[in-house]
Amino acid sequence: MVNQRKYALELLTDAGLLACKPAPTLVDNHEKFSSTESVPFTDIQAYRRLIGRLMYLINTRPDITFYVEQLSQFLAKPTIAHYNATIRIIRYIKGAPSLGLFFSSTTSVHLKSFCDSDWGTCSDSRQSVTGFSVYLGNFLISWKSKKQGTLSKSSYEA
């Protein structure tokens, strides 16, 4: 079992949320983050610090990867909505701080890969978000979620 329980508890303590009520779910699946739909958040350094710490935590928590990477797009100009979503993720972590990756000693050795994309998901830039996951047997060994630029006309003609 690989987990970052101690790190997750330190994150909760530093954010002042160790005594808070845990959130049962992550951010709303239908929420689209935008840099213009909320009041700007004034403490940009605090937001960057929280996102940076969450980025380190996604090494063993692939369940939060998508939302952390979505929120990391707004490091230059975060809003109150972005900060609230970040706090919601931290409250979700409080519900299971020792959640991690389990690697069994008895497994088949098959390499599987899955890919998904969401075209034009970013409401500000209309850029696409794609992601993939790679499994060795039943265990996740690599994953990535990334934002891509829009396709040019020549890309469609190819």
Closest CA relative to residue 34, chosen from 125, 154, 98: 125
What pLDDT sits at residue 75? 93
What pLDDT sits at residue 154? 35
Taking only the tens place, the pLDDT of each residue in 93-150 is: 999 998 887 766 776 677 888 887 776 666 676 677 778 888 877 778 887 776 655 4
Taking only the tens place, the pLDDT of each residue in 10-48 is: 999 999 999 999 999 888 777 788 888 889 999 999 999
Are 86 and 54 in contact by the 8 Å Cβ rule? The answer is yes
